Amino acid sequence: MHKLLFSLLSIVSLFFHGGEARQLEVPLPNACHFSQINSLGPAHAIKFEAGQMEVWDHTSPELRCAGVTVARITLQANSIFLPSFFSSPALAYVVQGEGVMGTIASGCPETYEEIGGGDSGRRFEDMHQKLENFRRGDVFALVAGVSQWWYNRGNSDVVIVIVLDVTNRENQLDQVPRMFQIAGSRTQEEEQPLTWPTGNNAFSGFDPNIIAEAFKIDIETAKELQNQKDNRGNIVRAKGPLHFVISPPRQRQQDHGNVNGIEETYCTARIHENIDDPERSDFFSTRAGRISTLNSHNLPVLRSVRLNAVRGVLYSGGMVLPQWTANANTVLYATGGQARIQVVDDNGQSVFNEQVTQGQLLVVPQGFAVVKTAGETGFEWISFRTNDNAYMNTLSGETSYLRAVPLDVIKAAYVVTEEDANRIKFSQQETMLAMTQASSS
Amino acid sequence: MHKLLFSLLSIVSLFFHGGEARQLEVPLPNACHFSQINSLGPAHAIKFEAGQMEVWDHTSPELRCAGVTVARITLQANSIFLPSFFSSPALAYVVQGEGVMGTIASGCPETYEEIGGGDSGRRFEDMHQKLENFRRGDVFALVAGVSQWWYNRGNSDVVIVIVLDVTNRENQLDQVPRMFQIAGSRTQEEEQPLTWPTGNNAFSGFDPNIIAEAFKIDIETAKELQNQKDNRGNIVRAKGPLHFVISPPRQRQQDHGNVNGIEETYCTARIHENIDDPERSDFFSTRAGRISTLNSHNLPVLRSVRLNAVRGVLYSGGMVLPQWTANANTVLYATGGQARIQVVDDNGQSVFNEQVTQGQLLVVPQGFAVVKTAGETGFEWISFRTNDNAYMNTLSGETSYLRAVPLDVIKAAYVVTEEDANRIKFSQQETMLAMTQASSS
Amino acid sequence: MHKLLFSLLSIVSLFFHGGEARQLEVPLPNACHFSQINSLGPAHAIKFEAGQMEVWDHTSPELRCAGVTVARITLQANSIFLPSFFSSPALAYVVQGEGVMGTIASGCPETYEEIGGGDSGRRFEDMHQKLENFRRGDVFALVAGVSQWWYNRGNSDVVIVIVLDVTNRENQLDQVPRMFQIAGSRTQEEEQPLTWPTGNNAFSGFDPNIIAEAFKIDIETAKELQNQKDNRGNIVRAKGPLHFVISPPRQRQQDHGNVNGIEETYCTARIHENIDDPERSDFFSTRAGRISTLNSHNLPVLRSVRLNAVRGVLYSGGMVLPQWTANANTVLYATGGQARIQVVDDNGQSVFNEQVTQGQLLVVPQGFAVVKTAGETGFEWISFRTNDNAYMNTLSGETSYLRAVPLDVIKAAYVVTEEDANRIKFSQQETMLAMTQASSS
């Protein structure tokens, strides 16, 4: 239906404003009727000096239903993803690589750092806000309107997948994804993408005189802040390797926290956790695989972000028992291997039954039942869910729906004998992960 | 206006996709302009083997404004409403009958039960999650994505009215009502309803081999779970009478609660309360009637469900003084008798002034003033309100608006003498319920 | 785009319902793409007996993006803005004048008051809910569905600006602003405004007999409550001057609080605070000006209202350093003087760069960067923000973004030398307010 309305409005759009550059943004709510769900790859790549940003099509039915938008950024060695922020809360997952990440919130305490050398050779103190090392497996909570920058200090690419919850209450703009750059510039690509990110940095929109006044610098330096002659985009090569001192922040002298409205606890709050470590798994099977959950119980900042994440690993022949998420949409990103995934909608119709391989994205709407079976090389994935305490119900196994129902109900429901009802109810003794028979035999 | 857009899009729909089976779902927000509000009966009935499910038209202006959807299920004696869930939080009210209700949440503790007899005659232990007796007057809170089943153990029909809050944040799909069946099947009705519920169960969408693997059962039994050859629908006759042991749950051995994201307190939380008992009334008049409120103060789980309920009884000649609900829409369902109800909108226009009789539904939007006067046989109703602590303001009587305003303001506002202002302010000394003069004389 | 859809639907509207009186209300979500933002004056003024109510066009792109609606009410000396409420939470700012304000919530305790004189000359007791003195600089939190009345007891006009958060969850109607009058009447204006407020009072929609029953008064007095022959509108002259005793409320005898769903703390909660007092400033500069913030830390009732406010004063030559609000839209109302304001969007494009003068309104969407420079006579304003703890990030100065970023990142980002990077980072030592160089020299 939304496709229909889309077609209609596209036609109307052409008629009234045929030459308009801006993409038509039809304000549809989550429309979650599917005859088929498609797994999705990125729709567009924006090349920067030292990396790229790939964005998924946020107007696809699947992402519209889930109310989210997805991007993947790739930083080459010794490059910086320049400071920028989103109007939506988001989760970022480090798919590969390692580096340093800085988050910027006015009013949070600063760290002093002794610096030697530089262009001038003299020694002096720098100061900046807390930095954090990042590595593969880290999930970062990105608060709406708070900037980050990322530096790749390793020798190989850093790859980060970011899911923005555009329908979150904290995004008070429309449901179009927006990246606000405060450094960086527009690239020189011939064909500008219809969607985000296309921008120049915030300074470029101000009068240089105003910038000079605001910073107490001369006009020429003010113009540098605008990156007007710059076409490197938002990922640039550093004169590196850069070394940052990751030290605990000093006590802040002035308490701007309450005044400024930032959550008192934000400045000192943990904003990331690594969920790749097998020892932190919530479900673990030596043969089948493991599942690790990050929610507001173990990362409290997620309470305000209203998102959570699940990291999963399946070995060859392993399966995740059929289940549904009660109170959230799920965006699954395959980080390795492949799996056959089946998804069933509210009418009992199969809406997805395909292989999902590394780099692909699959949306599983709230309530839709899903089962995953690993391929020969196993399967690894990260799932982002649109609730800070998303709640899973399993259809089979130890804590499943069928365990919860009396035998007499099962017999009446499925027209089976007591023996069959017993088998249905108790044969599968695993909780969440199991081996397929085929692979066991 | 929404009717207009509806017309427009219907026409366009026919033009572009004339033959489409799915109903056009226009993503309108709550459109609450009415020249007239209509009381509503169910729009469609789906017959099942041992009962039926009637659904109201969720595209009606009234239900769209309130952002809710309503269904009424009728279970014949000794029948089961099979396990299913909604993507929206809901309240269910037991209009008549009694039975046993089971709610299913993965990770909640189970109850052991000794069972004798059955098909095989042997004795063994069953285990399942907590069951609760239900009876007329019970309100149940239904959490999004959590399944229920209901068994009628009495000799007469059980009737349950369910109000789904489709615009609640916990429903992350679109605003189309959806029932997810995990048992049961599609019925063989010639004409499938355009709307819900039309589905097969979740298992029917999976490959039988996958089900066999997931349950460790053979393919034939897996196919039974799909109810493929079944056309009994979602209410089936039991080989009964069934007897369930309602016992307190055992301590759960493994704590999946936090991992799974379910509220720690949910498993042990009360999810229902009976509000028919005259002794729990909040407002009571021996002659006029009584009113009983259920909100998150007396049923804390309503805090997450964000709904509340009011049960009312008026005797002949009784009236509920004019009032408005400050922060919620109200969906009134008449359970008995009849009343003349008047509703006034934000422009001081009468938008409803009619008799409401048993089985009818009336939407009163937030802020709209309403007054109820019982007919000769009295009036009984249940009101569902879209806020866990909906707040009522009365226009006359003891705690009313006019009591709160100084006499000088009343004199200026209504151009009355001090004597009249005094009478307006103090004559009515009842708080919420009063007798009409006509009936008193 | 929304303009486009608007045009389309307007045309369709004319075609299908050409003569319809009701304005077309297209349910657009916040559409925040702007080639240009306009400052806004009121679109329509409704004259009452002793004052007027001016309303901004809630369908303007700017107010739609912010999800708010704005009104300005002017009360002549010795007049009353009669009791009425909104379905949306709101903040009211007293721009000028002083008086008494009464808020009305069923179930809150009452104050007794001895009254002498009046029409009859006899002495008796009145009772009413708590009254509060108001004066210039007060911000009042208006809870959805709770009525207020305002009395101008001074010699000059009272002017109050009200911002309604129509997209707030507490407004459960559509996004059309609605004022519910419970006294007052429609005015006799020839041309009724297409939008709010146009109404008669709630009583006028009821059958007079029902009102008589509900109040235990005679039909004639009941008709007075309907203000049928009244065309004074919602602001009327009092037989004044009126004197109200502002005394602490007595203990309430009956606890209707929980039953009624009103927050237990509401009745005793402070609902206003004066933010004009220079001593309560959060940022203060003897030369540049001052800024004072009201949020849920210092006025807890804002937590449920989900709005906050900032009062600002700039002296000639003062500027507010460039900044963005992380998690809220801002609605700025100029109360005095003038300033040049620049606003930059997510693409680094200037969308506003003009003088804003007394009485004008400017919307600054979430994340958009803004800088203000006072004109020769200085500038005073009040900003309403759509979050109870809106969080500001500054681009320059003591606690700014650039302070938070290591020098190496600044060098790479803006392609500057270490000396320039140092200057960019440390030259501006003010936090939020600074003097422009031009004015200093």
A87 to C366: CB separation less than 8 angstroms, yes or no: yes
- Torsion angles phi and psi, residue C171, rounded to 5: -85, 110
Strand B361-364 versus strand B330-344 pairing type: antiparallel
Instruction: Compare A335 and A270 and report the one with higher pLDDT.
Output: A335
Could you report the per-residue pLDDT of C288-317, keeping only the tens digit for each?
A: 999 999 999 889 999 989 999 999 999 999
* Range from A17-31, A182-196, A332-346, C194-208 that averages highest in pLDDT: A332-346
Report how many Cβ contacts below 8 Å link chain B to chain C: 272
- pLDDT for the residue numbered C15: 31
Of A67, A386, A428, the CB nearest to B216: A428
B340 is a domain residue: yes
Between chains, do B401 and C145 touch, taking CB under 8 Å as contact? no
Question: Residue A110: what are its φ and ψ, rounded to 5°?
Answer: -110, 160
Instruction: Please indicate whether residue C258 or residue A382 has the higher confidence score (pLDDT).
Output: A382
Question: Which residues in chain C are closer than 8 Å to B1, comparing Cβ atoms?
Answer: 13, 22, 24-25
First to last CA, chain A: 46
**Tokens (6 digits) for A239:** 């004169």
Higher pLDDT, C93 or C6: C93
Across the range C165-191, mean pLDDT stands at 85
* Type and span of the H or E element at A274: strand A272-274
Q: Quote the CA–CA distance of A211 and C322 in Å, as a whole number.
A: 8
pLDDT tens track for A255-280: 444 445 555 557 878 899 999 999 99
The residue segments making up the domain with residue A19 are: 1-31
Dist CA B183 CA A412 (whole Å): 10
In this prediction, residue C128 carries a pLDDT of 75
C247-255: long-range contacts, CB 8 A cutoff, minimum separation 24: C247/C111, C247/C113, C248/C111, C248/C130, C249/C108, C249/C109, C249/C110, C249/C111, C249/C129, C249/C130, C250/C109, C250/C110, C250/C111, C250/C112, C251/C109, C252/C107, C252/C108, C252/C109, C252/C110
Enter the pTM of the model.
Answer: 0.90
Query: Domain for residue B270, yes or no?
Result: no
Residues B251 and B146 grouped into a single domain: yes
Share of chain C above pLDDT 70, in %: 83
Work out the angle between the directed axes of helices C407-414 and C418-426 (0-180°, nearest 10): 110
CB neighbour list of residue A130: distance below 8 Å, 6 or more residues apart: A102, A103, A108, A109, A111, A248, A249
Cβ-contact B174, A30 below 8 angstroms: yes
Which CATH number do you get for residue B279? 2.60.120.10
CB pair distance less than 8 Å for A201 and C348: yes
Q: What is the pLDDT of residue C306?
A: 93
Cβ distance of B407 and C120 shorter than 8 Å: no
Instruction: Report, as an integer, the average pLDDT of A331-360.
Output: 97
Same domain? For B185 and B296 the reply is: no
Question: Is residue C177 pLDDT above 70, yes or no?
Answer: yes
3-state secondary structure C41-55: CCCEEEEECCEEEEE
Which residue among A366, A367, A399 places its CB closest to the CB of B106?
Answer: A399
If asked whether residues A200 and A312 sit together in one domain, one would say no
Residue C238: closest C-alpha in chain B: B412
The per-residue pLDDT for range A103-122, each reduced to its tens digit, is: 888 778 777 666 555 555 55
3-state helix, strand, coil in chain A (%, to 5): 15, 35, 45
- Of A94-108, A296-310, B319-333, C249-263, the range with the highest mean pLDDT is B319-333
In a domain, B266, yes or no: no
Instruction: Give residue C214's pLDDT.
Output: 95
DSSP annotation of C18 reads T
Structure tokens at A30: 């989550």
Mean pLDDT of chain A: 85
Beta carbons of C215 and C226 less than 8 angstroms apart: no
Region A392-396: mean pLDDT is: 92
- What mean pLDDT do residues A154-182 have? 94
Considering the domain boundaries, does residue B247 fall inside one? Answer: yes
Residue A187's contacts (CB-CB under 8 Å, 6 or more residues apart) are A46, A47, A48, A231, A232, A233
Check whether residue B199 and residue B282 sit in a common domain.
no
Q: Are C237 and C78 in contact (CB under 8 A)?
A: yes
DSSP string, A288-337: TEEEEEE-TTTSTTHHHHT-EEEEEEE-TTEEEEEEEESS--EEEEEEEE
Size of chain A, expressed as the number of residues it contains: 441
Claim to verify: residue A155 and residue A57 sit in the same structural domain: yes
Cβ distance A237 to C351 less than 8 Å, yes or no, reads no
Partner-chain residue, chosen from C2, C349, C392, that has the shortest CB–CB distance to A106: C392
Which residue in A325, A346, A412 is closest to B199 by CB distance? A346
Distance CA C66, CA C367 (A): 12
- Residues of A within 8 A of C318 (CB-CB) are none
Inter-axis angle of helices A418-426 and A407-414, nearest 10 = 110
Q: What are the C-alpha distances in Å from B306 to residues A308, C320, C321?
A: 22, 41, 42
Give the pLDDT confidence of B343-354 residue by residue, as tens digits. 999 999 999 999
Residue A265 lies in a domain: no
User: How would residue C194 be classed by pLDDT, with cut points 50, 70 and 90?
Assistant: low
| pLDDT (0 to 100) of residue B24 | 30
C275, C293, C405, best to mutate vs chain A, most A CBs in 10 Å: C405
Sequence-ordered alpha helix ranges (H) in B291-350 = 302-305
pLDDT classification of A26: cutoffs 50, 70, 90? very low
| Predicted pLDDT at B290 | 96
Partner residue facing B415 (CB), from C26, C211, C230:
C230
Q: Which of the other chains make 3 or more beta carbon contacts under 8 angstroms with chain C?
A: A, B
Sign of CA dihedral B277, B279, B281, B283: positive
Nearest to A270 by CA among A311, A308, A302: A302
Return the pLDDT at C400: 87
Say yes or no: A62 and A146 in one domain: yes
Residue B124, pLDDT score: 59
> Chain A closest CA to B370's CA: distance in Å?
32
Ramachandran region, residue C308 (left: φ > 0; alpha: ψ -120 to 50; beta: rest): beta
**Whether A418 contacts B120, CB under 8 Å:** yes
Q: What is the ipTM of this complex?
A: 0.88
Is the predicted pLDDT of residue A16 greater than 80, yes or no?
Answer: no
Mutation to test the A interface, candidates C393, C423, C426, C439, most A Cβ within 10 Å: C393
Provide mean pLDDT across the span A136-163.
96
* Same domain as A394, residue A332: yes
Q: What pLDDT is attached to residue A2?
A: 41
**Which of C327, C391, C312, C373 has its CA nearest to residue C93?**
C312
Nearest Cα to Cα of residue C214 among B371, B406, B377, B369 = B371
- Which has the minimum average pLDDT: B42-46, C20-24, C216-220, C364-368? C20-24
Report, as an integer, the average pLDDT of A180-194.
Answer: 73
CB contact under 8 A, C394 and A106: yes
In angstroms, rounded to a whole number, what is the distance separating the alpha carbons of residues C441 and C424?
Answer: 21
C312 and C167 within one domain = no
pLDDT at A289 over 50: yes
A188 and A208 inside one domain: yes
What token pair was written down for C203? 């009583």
User: B235 and B344 share a domain?
Assistant: no
Q: Which of B339, B337, B327 is nearest to B391 (CA)?
A: B327
CA distance A391 to chain C (A): 24
Task: Give the pLDDT confidence score for residue A254 in this predicted structure.
Answer: 47
Say whether C325 and A145 touch across the interface (CB within 8 A).
yes
SS3 at position C73: strand
Residues B63-122: pLDDT tens digits?
999 999 999 999 999 999 999 999 999 999 999 999 999 988 877 877 766 655 555 555
Q: Give the pair of three-digit tokens for residue C14.
A: 């004319």
C363, β-bridge pairs: C331
C398/A137: higher pLDDT: A137
Separation in Å, CA of A275 to nearest CA in chain B: 13
The 3-state DSSP class for residue B431 equals: coil
Q: Are strands C44-48 and C121-129 parallel, antiparallel or unpaired?
A: unpaired
Measured in residues, chain C has a length of 441
Check whether residue B156 and residue B246 sit in a common domain: yes
- Please judge whether B210 and A322 are an interchain contact, meaning their C-beta atoms are less than 8 angstroms apart: yes
State the average pLDDT over residues B245-270.
58
Q: Do B173 and A366 make contact, defined as CB atoms within 8 angstroms?
A: yes
pLDDT of residue C20: 27
> Residue A357: pLDDT above 80?
yes
**Cα separations in angstroms, C54 against C42, C176, C219, C232, C338:** 6, 16, 35, 16, 21
List, in order, residues 6 or more apart from A125 with CB less than 8 Å away: A112, A113, A114, A115
Tell whether C184 is covered by a domain: yes
Return the partners of chain B (3 or more C-beta pairs < 8 Å): A, C
Measure C70 CA to nearest chain B CA, in Å.
18
Q: State mean pLDDT over A133-147.
A: 96
Outline where DSSP puts E strands in B287-428: 289-294, 308-314, 318-325, 330-344, 350-357, 361-364, 369-385, 392-394
Backbone angles phi, psi at A277, to 5 degrees: -60, 120
C268, part of any domain? no
Q: Output the six-digit token pair for C86.
A: 């909104």
Q: Are C276 and C137 in contact (CB under 8 A)?
A: yes
Under an 8 A CB cutoff, do B342 and C205 touch?
yes
If you measure CA to CA, which chain B residue comes closest to C185? B348
Evaluate if residue A21 carries a pLDDT over 50: no
For chain B, what is the domain count?
Answer: 3
Choose among B13, B131, B258: nearest Cβ to A4.
B13
Looking at chain B, the whole-number percentage of residues with pLDDT higher than 70 is 83
DSSP string, C424-438: HHHS---SSEEE-HH
Whether residues C4 and A22 touch (CB distance < 8 A) is answered with no
**Cβ–Cβ of A399/B107 closer than 8 Å?**
yes
Same domain, yes or no: C402 and C350: yes
The conformation of residue C202, written as its DSSP 8-state character, comes to: G
Give the pLDDT band (50/70/90) at residue A404.
confident
A407 pLDDT exceeds 60? yes
Q: Is A403–B110 a contact, with Cβ atoms under 8 angstroms apart?
A: yes
Q: Which uninterrupted H or E stretch holds C404?
A: helix C401-404
**Who contacts A157 (Cβ-Cβ below 8 Å, separation ≥6)?**
A51, A74, A75, A76, A77, A96, A97
Helices and strands per DSSP (H, E), number in chain C: 10, 25
The answer on pLDDT for A82 being more than 50 is yes
Q: What is the pLDDT of residue B25?
A: 32
Residues of B in contact with A372 (CB under 8 A): none
3-class state of residue A101 by DSSP:
strand
Please answer yes or no on whether C404 and A211 come within 8 Å at the CB atom. no
Q: Classify residue A126: in a domain, yes or no.
A: yes
Q: Once rounded to an integer, what is the mean pLDDT over residues C142-158?
A: 95
Identify the burial level of A355 via C-beta atoms within 10 angstroms of its C-beta, where 0-12 means exposed, 13-18 middle and 19 or more buried. Answer: middle
- Cβ contacts of residue C203 below 8 Å, gap of 6+? B348, B395, C182, C211, C222, C225, C226, C227
* A contacts of C413 (beta carbons < 8 Å): 80, 82-83, 183-184, 227, 236
Is B139 in contact with B91 (CB distance < 8 Å)? yes
Among chain A residues, the shortest Cα distance to B243 is held by A408
Give how far C29 is from chain B: nearest CA, Å.
9
Least Cα separation, residue B59 to chain A (angstroms): 15
Q: Of A168, A177, A172, A162, whose CA–CA distance to A306 is shortest? A: A168
Domain boundary among B232, B260, B288: B260
Nearest Cβ partner of C399 from A106, A212, A236? A106
Predicted confidence band of residue C115 (pLDDT cuts 50, 70, 90): low
CB contact under 8 A, B395 and C203: yes
d(CA B257, CA A408): 27
